[in-house]
Every structure is written in structure tokens, then in C-alpha cells.
Amino acid sequence: MTTTTLRPAASADATAGATGDDGPGRPRRKEILNWIAVHSIAIAVALLFILPFVFVFLTSVMADDQAMSGDLWPDSWHWENYRTVFETDGFLDWWRNSIFYAVVGTLFTVCSAIPVAYALAKFRFRGRRTAMILVISTMMLPPQVIVIPMYLVWAQQFHLSGTLWPLIIPMAFGDAYSIFLLRQFLLTIPKEYIESAKVDGCGELRTLLKIVVPMAKPGIAAIALFQFFYCWNDYFGPQIYAAQNPASWTLSYGLESFKSAHSVNWNLTMAATLLVMAPVCIVFFFAQKAFVEGVTLTGVKG
């Protein structure tokens, strides 16, 4: 009779450890360490962007004597600072002007960019490449180069100085960057969809409205957000055309006057700054999916 001797499980594990084999817990431990390392970097980078907003918010709810004193946390929370900012003469007018400028300017830009981008992307005509080069070349021209003759035209010929209309009306005739960005997005739409619509009897306008526009919503959302942010943050334009009329000031330009009037009241200045930034942050927060999708799907086809 042959006798078989069984090795205990503990002895087998000890032998495996002695030979240098990894246990089942070692890969898991390594994975956790990698996750911590990767996300710790992301958290550190996120803090670099978040901490300035936190500093502005905490300063905005401090008392006058504590603001900019070196304290990082308010001794008492003064929410009435925001009411004081809103009660400042002209602040609500600046809000209305900024909303009007941003909304109407964005609508004009989108409505004018869509047909031009569609023609440059899908039509085949002589001079199409030259037209595209001209559109791109206007992006390279600094606005400071033409500001004096443009101001003379709007002020002397149309008598619109002291208003925001010299900034809004040109947007109804196209924006080079919006046309270029949307044209690149429309190039990614297969031409078979457009040809099928024409076979079914759709004209160019109906094809654009029923087929192209619904498929180009991410690209349209991207140019709309870009233009909204540009109009909301525009300081140079209102300074040139609306400086002599405080009733036409926007938030970006009025904030400079507010800071000069309340230079020692840093808590009120920070509260006003936060109120100016809030709409942009809210719009981007709710529209970031469409914005990222539109920018990501925009190709670089020529």
C-alpha cells in the first residue's frame, strides 16, 4: 500500500511567498495607489482654479474692516453686501445692458453665421476657397487698427455714439471666427443626408433648416457660447462707443467705475465681481455638455 502525504495549505503559501510570487492582494493595492496618485494631481489642479473663487466669495461677505486684512475666514457673514451692490446707482442698468448686448449679439451672430458656413461647407462654386481665405484673414486683423475710422462712421454718419448699437449691428453680418468654426463642423456632416433631402424635393433653405441645423446643434451651441462669453466680457467695445453715456454701460465697463468709487471697500468690490462672473459660470455649467461636444466634433478638414 502506498501512503500519500498532503502538504498543509499554510506551508504551500509560505513556499509561494519564499519564491517571490505575488499574492492576490498585491495588484489590488497597486491599483489603489495609482488611483490616489492620479486623482491627487487632478484635485491639486482643480484647487488652483477653485481657490481664487473661494477667496473672492469669502472676502465679499466680510465686514469693511476685515476685508483684505489677512484673515481668510469671515468673523461674521455680511450678506447685505450684495444688496448694497445692487442698490448702487446704475448697477441694474449695467445688468440690463450686458444681457441685451450678449443675447441680441449672440442671436445676430448665430443667424448670420449658419447660412454663410453652410454655403462655404457644402456649396461648390468658383472662388469658394478664396472666400474662405478672406474670412480667415479678417480674424488676423486687430480691432484696434480700424477702431478710429469705424467710430467716425458710427458717430458722424449714423449718430449712434453713446449706445451699444455700433457693437451689435455688425454681428448681423457675420463673425469670422463663428463662421470658420461652424463651417468646420458642417464638413463632418455626410453629404448623403443633404442629397437625400433634395431628392425628396427640399430646397436649399428647407434642407438647411430641417436637416443641417438639427444635426449641427453641438456646433451651433459652441459658437453661441463663445459669442455670449465674448459679449459679456467685452470691455474694449463699450469703452469706445458707450463711455460718454453711463446709461449704456455694461457690467464689464461699469465694474471699473464701481471699483474706483469703492476702492477702499474691497468687500463690496469682491461682491460686485462675483455678481459679474456668476452668469457666465451658470451658463457654462448648464451648457458645458453641448459646448464640449461641439468643440470636440469640430474637425480640421479643409
Single pTM value for the model: 0.78
- Specify the pLDDT at position 294: 58
Q: Residue 151 carries which DSSP code? A: H
- Specify the pLDDT at position 6: 45
Q: Residue 3 carries which DSSP code? A: P
Q: Which residues contact 189 (CB under 8 A, 6 or more apart)?
A: 212, 215, 216
The answer to whether the CB of 294 falls within 8 A of the CB of 218 is yes
Exposed/middle/buried for residue 219 (C-beta within 10 Å: 0-12, 13-18, 19+):
buried
Of residues 275, 166, 163, 182, the one with CA closest to residue 220: 182
Q: Return per-residue pLDDT of the chain as tens, 302 residues.
A: 444 444 444 444 444 444 444 555 567 887 887 777 778 888 888 888 888 888 889 888 888 777 777 777 888 888 888 888 888 888 889 999 999 999 999 999 999 999 999 999 888 888 888 988 888 888 888 888 888 889 999 998 899 989 999 999 999 998 899 999 899 889 888 888 888 888 888 888 888 888 899 888 888 988 998 999 999 999 999 999 998 898 899 998 888 878 776 666 788 888 888 888 888 888 877 777 766 665 565 544 44
Helices (H), 187-216: 191-199, 204-207, 213-215
Neighbours of 181 (CB within 10 A): 21
User: Nearest 5°: phi and psi at 197?
Assistant: -65, -40
- Specify the pLDDT at position 238: 92
Give 263-290 as a DSSP string: TT-HHHHHHHHHHHHHHHHHHHHHHHHH
Neighbours of 130 (CB within 10 A): 9
- Specify the pLDDT at position 41: 81
- Specify the pLDDT at position 295: 59
